[in-house]
A and B are shown apart, each in its own frame.
Chain A
C-alpha cells in the first residue's frame, strides 16, 4: 500500500521549489513529504510561522494545493471551519469527492499559543490531520524558548549565562496530551526518514476523525549545525531516543523504530551549538540528568507498548 520512493519522486510536486526557506530547512522537507502522501485533493491550513512565511510571499506561492493562512494561534480552529464547510456541502450534495484537510503549525503555534485551538479541534472530532513541525523553539522570531524546547537548550530567551544553563524546564509532552484527547491516531515522526513520515501520513488520512503527527524538525539556524546534516540530525534524535518514533492507534502504542544500538544523547548534542555548554565538564551533572530523563522516557514508552 505504501508508495516507494521511486513512485513518490514521479508525482507532481504539490509543494514546489522556489520557496525561500533556509538551506537545509527541515520544515519544507516535511511539508513536501506530507503532501506526497496526501495527494492533490488536499486543503492545507497553516499557522503563522516559518512554513507560511517562506512559502507564500505574495505574489508567489509554493503551494500547488489550496492553502489558507489566517493567524498564528488558530490553525486548529481555521481548519475546523474549512472542514465544517465540507461537511455542510456533502450534506447538501454540493461536493462528493474526498478531500484531506491538513493543518500545519510550528511548535510555538501548536504547543503554546495554539494549544487551545488545537485542543478544541481535536475534542470536537473534526476529520483533520494536524502536523506539528517541531523545531523546539520559536525559530521564526529568532530562537526564543517554547514549551517544546528541551531542558538545557540555549535559546535567546533562556540563554546560557553566568548562573543559568539555558532552558530550566523539561519540554511539554504534547503527543501525550493529544493521546489524552482520545483521538484515533497520534504519532511522532522525524524529518530525515521519508518512509516513516509518508506512511504515517497515509495511515492517518485513511482514518476518520482527528489525527495528530508531531514531526521533529531540525532547524539548522536555531540549533546551529551545518545545513547538510538536517536528515542526519533527525535520525540521531531517533537513535538517541530523545525523539522516539511511535504511533498511537486508538490508544494502543506502537514504537515504529527501535534503534539497534541506543546512542547517548551527547552524540546528538555535540553536533549542535545550542547544547555546546552541556558538554563542558562543569555541566556534567546536568548532562547526566538529561540522559537519565531520556532513558526513563524511553523505558516508559516501551512499557506502554508492552501493555497492549
Chain B
C-alpha cells in the first residue's frame, strides 16, 4: 500500500495541497469567501517555486474561467476554485467549457446565493449549474475533497468534460480534520502527463476552436456532449477503483451506509452525510433499521444504480441543501423520485429542504427525519416538501 502522511488540515488546505501535487500548468482565480484560501495558499506554492504552474490572478471569476478555457484549449491542465456568486458569474463560461469539451477542474466551496447575501454553506451554487454539462462530485469531508480533486483530473481528461469538485463552505473548507495525504510522487504518477490530441499551441497543425455552429451541426455537438456525460459514469468508476486499489480509499458513484437491509433511508450529500452516519449508528444500536445513501456523483446522476440501491427501502427521505424554487421538490429529491419511477418503485419519498445559508443541521434534526419515516410507515402523512430548521 502506498505511503501516506497523516496531517491535520482544513478542507481548503487539503484542496490547495491536492492542487500542488497535481501541479497544473495554469491556475486562474479570483478570491471569494469561503473558497479564497485554496488559491491563496496555492499562490504561495507558486511564489516558492514548488509548482510549474502559471498563476493568473484575474479580475473576476468570469475571467478566471475564460483564462482556464484559453489555457485548456491551448493544451494544458487548467484549474480554478470558487464559490457561490463566483460560480454564478462563471456560469456563461461553464457552458462554453463543457461545450468545447475542455477538461478543466474546478473546486467549488458550496455557499448560498444572493440575495440576501450570505457567505455560509448550502448547495444552491452547484445546483444552479447542474445542467451546465460539468461532471459534479460532492465531498463529505476534507479527505474526500482531496481524493476527489486528484481523481477529477483523470476523469476530466478521459471523459473530455470539465469537473466540479465540491466541499461544504466553512463546515469542510474551514474545519480542521485528520487527513491522509499521498506522497507527491504517487499523485504525480496517478495523474500522469496530459497529452491532448489537438491544441492551440501546436501552430504546425492549426485548428479552429469555438466555431459558429448553426442549425446544421449544433444539435449533433450537444448530443455528443450528452453522450460523453452518460459515458462518464463508467470512467468515474474505473478511475475511482484504480485510486482505491492504489491508495486504499475506494469511492463509487454513491456510498451506501448500512443500506443493504435498511428500511428507513435518508439520501444526503456533502457534510450532512457524515452527521447522518452518526444518527444511523445510534438508531442501529437501538434496533432501528436505518440507512444512508450518499450520492457522490451528482452529474451524471446514476439513476439506475441509485434506484437499485433503494429497492429494499420502505420509506425514503431526501435532504436537499438547496431549494429549486419551483413549487415542487428540491433538486436531489426530484432526481431520486425520477429514478424510482423509472424502475417502477412507487415508494414513499419525502423531501426536506434544510440548512440554507449555513443554518445548522443537528443530530436531533436527522433523528427527527428518521422518526418521521417510521411514523410514515404507520400511516402518518407528510407534505411532500418540508422545510426543516426554519422559523415559520
Contact = CB atoms under 8 A, between A and B. Distances in A.
Interface of A: 40-43, 45, 52-53, 56-59, 61, 63-71, 73-74, 76-89, 91-92, 95, 99, 116-117, 119-120, 123-124
B26 interface: yes
Contacts of B238: none
Contact of A92 (B52, B206, B210): B52
Contact of A119 (B59, B96, B207): B59
A199 B72 CA distance: 32
B70 A68 contact: yes
A89 B201 CA distance: 10
A43 B58 contact: no
Contacts of B367: none
Contact of A53 (B66, B201, B212, B216): B212
Most buried by B among A84, A87, A89, A91: A84
B248 to A, nearest CB: 31
Contact of B206 (A64, A87, A91): A64
Most buried by B among A41, A67, A74, A81: A81
A112 to B, nearest CB: 15
A56 B56 CA distance: 28
Interface in B137-176: none
B60 interface: yes
B213 interface: yes
Nearest to B207: A66
A234 to B, nearest CB: 26
Contacts of B78: 81, 85
Contacts of B200: 43, 66, 68, 82
Contacts of A58: 211-214, 216-217
Given A66-B200, A69-B211, A71-B92, A77 B66 contact: yes
Contacts of A87: 54
Contacts of A74: 62-63, 66, 93
B69 interface: yes
Given A45-B70, A70-B69, A88-B26, A61 B211 contact: yes
Contacts of A86: 74, 201
Contacts of A45: 70
A70 B70 contact: yes
Given A66-B209, A67-B206, 9 more contacts: A52-B212, A58-B217, A66-B201, A67-B207, A71-B96, A74-B66, A82-B71, A83-B70, A85-B76
A124 B210 contact: no
Nearest to B51: A88
A81 B69 contact: yes
A57 B74 contact: no
Contact of A80 (B28, B62, B210, B216): B28
B206 A66 contact: yes
B67 interface: yes
Interface residues of B, number: 45
A61 B207 CA distance: 9
Most buried by B among A63, A74, A85: A85
B207 A88 contact: no
B46 to A, nearest CB: 10
B103 to A, nearest CB: 13
A43 B203 contact: yes
Interface in B9-58: 25-26, 28, 52-54, 56-58
B202 A66 contact: yes
Most buried by B among A61, A70, A116, A119: A70
A68 B209 contact: yes
Given A99-B201, A123-B59, A70 B54 contact: no
B214 A84 contact: no
A16 to B, nearest CB: 11
A308 B325 CA distance: 62
A85 B206 contact: no
Contacts of A61: 208, 211
Contact of B63 (A41, A80, A82, A88): A80
B313 to A, nearest CB: 45
Contacts of A99: 201, 203
A53 B208 CA distance: 12
A81 B67 contact: yes
Contacts of A41: 203
Nearest to A14: B206
Given A77-B58, A116-B63, A69 B201 contact: no
Contacts of A43: 74, 200-201, 203
29 contacts: A41-B203, A52-B210, A56-B212, A57-B214, A58-B212, A63-B208, A66-B200, A66-B201, A66-B207, A67-B206, A68-B69, A68-B73, A68-B209, A69-B210, A74-B66, A76-B63, A77-B63, A80-B67, A81-B56, A81-B67, A81-B70, A82-B201, A83-B70, A92-B52, A116-B63, A117-B60, A117-B66, A120-B59, A124-B56
A78 B67 contact: yes
Contact of A77 (B52, B62, B74, B213): B62
A59 B66 contact: no
Contacts of B52: 88, 91-92
A69 B62 CA distance: 15
Contacts of A80: 28, 56, 58, 63, 66-67, 70
A76 B257 CA distance: 48
A71 B60 contact: no
A69 B100 CA distance: 10
Given A58-B217, A70-B66, A80-B63, A88 B206 contact: no
Interface string B77-101: 0100000000000001100100010
A103 B382 CA distance: 58
Contact of A82 (B70, B100, B202): B70
B75 interface: yes
B340 interface: no
B318 interface: no
A42 B210 contact: no
Contacts of B56: 80-81, 84, 124
The 9 closest A-B pairs by CB, nearest first: A81-B70, A81-B67, A120-B59, A77-B63, A69-B210, A77-B66, A74-B66, A61-B208, A56-B211
